[in-house]
Structure formats: structure tokens, C-alpha cells
Chains A and B, each alone.
Chain A
Amino acid sequence: MKQMLINNFFKIIEHTQENERAIFIIELNKNHPIYEGHFPGSPIVPGVCSIEIMKECAEFYLNTSLYYDSIEQCKFLSPIDPVKTAFLTISLQIISLNENEYSISGTILNQLTHCVSIKSKVKKKA
């Protein structure tokens, strides 16, 4: 399973299960070339990378490749500076809808600050 960002843009440090939520502690790579353009001298994790990180954590949890079918809502609540913030917490509720589909609701937290929240539906890649 080849993914775009994991072990490159970020890596998973710890994975636990709390009630019905999958919890991940991830470490950002502040030297990734994406930050050369987003933004020069003021690196910020692109919102679309946050969305991809949550999908890749779900792929790790389910051990299968996924693609987004739809995003009902994704809120960008607080910017993430990878220089000031090395570690983030990803909290996902992954519910199987049928054999090939899952709903994923989740948040990215910087300590107690909610940075991104998402409600989405993903499907297994053929």
C-alpha cells in the first residue's frame, strides 16, 4: 500500500484505541518541500494535507487503500505551524457502512486546540 504523505510528510508515532475512536500521535516533517511554497518563510500545513493525513491514518487502521467519495464538511479552525508544532493528535471515528464504504469523522488536535475537523465518506480502492 503506497501512500502520499505517510513516512514522508508525517509519521505515526503511536496508535491507540479509545472507546470507538482510533487515536494517532503523529510527528510532522518540518523540512518537507511542500513548505517551500506554503508559505515561504512562514510554513503552514496545507488544509488539503490535513485531509490526506486523516485518510492515511484510516488506511493504516483498516490496513487497506481508500479514496474519498465525499466530504460532507471539513472545517479549518486553526493553522498548524510545523516548526512550532512537531506532534499532533488525530482522533478518528471510523464506521463501516458496508463491505466497501466507511464514514470517517475526525479531528486534528494541537494539544487541546482543534485545528481541523472532518465528516466524510471513503471507499476501498479496487
Chain B
Amino acid sequence: MIELSKPLVSFPEILEYLPQRPPMVMVDSYYGSFNDEAYTSLYISRDNILLENDELSEMGMMDFLAQSGIVQMGNMTFITEFSKESKMGVICQFKNFKFYSKAKIGETIYGKVNKTFSNETMASLDVEAFTESKILLKGTINAMIINNETDAD
């Protein structure tokens, strides 16, 4: 089981796994991966740019899950690849997203990313956003894996 109280990577180190930069960083912790399932979180602060009526908006929740997927794909690639290439996931499709609830300023939302398929160029991820008491959003993300930067050596 993943211990959600002890992130493996937190802000600002998590920026190494994301192309986004503030104010568009929507993941602040990564808890690790177990059997292709990874967990992330975001503390909803008052200055989050994707707030609506003191809640994280639909946009914010979707971007949280998209960035959670990118972090997981980046981590997966860094661990398994023996080349010096840096790779990044690019989201190309949201599928079967169902919205259940929202979270407010001061709450922490968690993301669960379950890799259901991947090869060298594509991945499919079942994703879910939740708090300690409720499910917020579920769906599937399809992404392409691209070379972000290649070491010439």
C-alpha cells in the first residue's frame, strides 16, 4: 500500500516531472507507485488560479488529474529507461470523465493513477480524484510519450 502521509516528491522538486510552472502547477506531491498505481495530491490554496467560488473548478480538477498522469508517466519512464533521454507525457484524450463533487480552499485532494496500457509511444491511465471523504472525478486519460530532451552524448 502507498503511505499517503509521506510524499516521495514534493514542491518544488516535483517541477522536475512537469512542464507546467506556477501558477499552472496543479500537483504538489507524489507518493510513489505500486503495481502500476500511483498517488498524488494537491493542497487547494487561496491563490490557486483555477478556483471558482472558493472551490477548485472543473478545470482545476481535470488539470490535477492530467498533471498527475504526466508525473506518473515521467516517473515510470525515468525508472525504466536506461538511456539519457528525458521523456514527457502529452495528454491527447480525456474519456469517460464523470464529475461527482468539488473540494474547497484548505482541503487536500488526492489523485490515483492506474496505468492500464503502455508501450514506447502511448499510455492509457485510469484516473480518480478524491478527498478523505468523497470522490470528486473519475475518468480515463490517453497520452502520447514524447522525447522531451536528448543528451547528445
Contact = CB atoms under 8 A, between A and B. Distances in A.
Contact of A67 (B19, B58, B91, B94): B58
- For the side of the interface on B, what is the size category? 20 to 34
Interface string B49-60: 110100001111
A72 B25 contact: no
A4 B59 contact: yes
Contacts of B63: 46, 48
B22 interface: yes
B8 interface: no
Interface of A: 4, 33-34, 36-40, 46-49, 51-52, 55, 67-77
Contacts of A70: 96-99
B23 A52 contact: no
Contacts of B95: 71-74
A67 B62 CA distance: 13
Contacts of B59: 4, 46, 48-49, 51-52
B118 interface: no
A68 B58 contact: yes
Given A34-B49, A73-B93, A68 B99 contact: yes
A75 B93 contact: yes
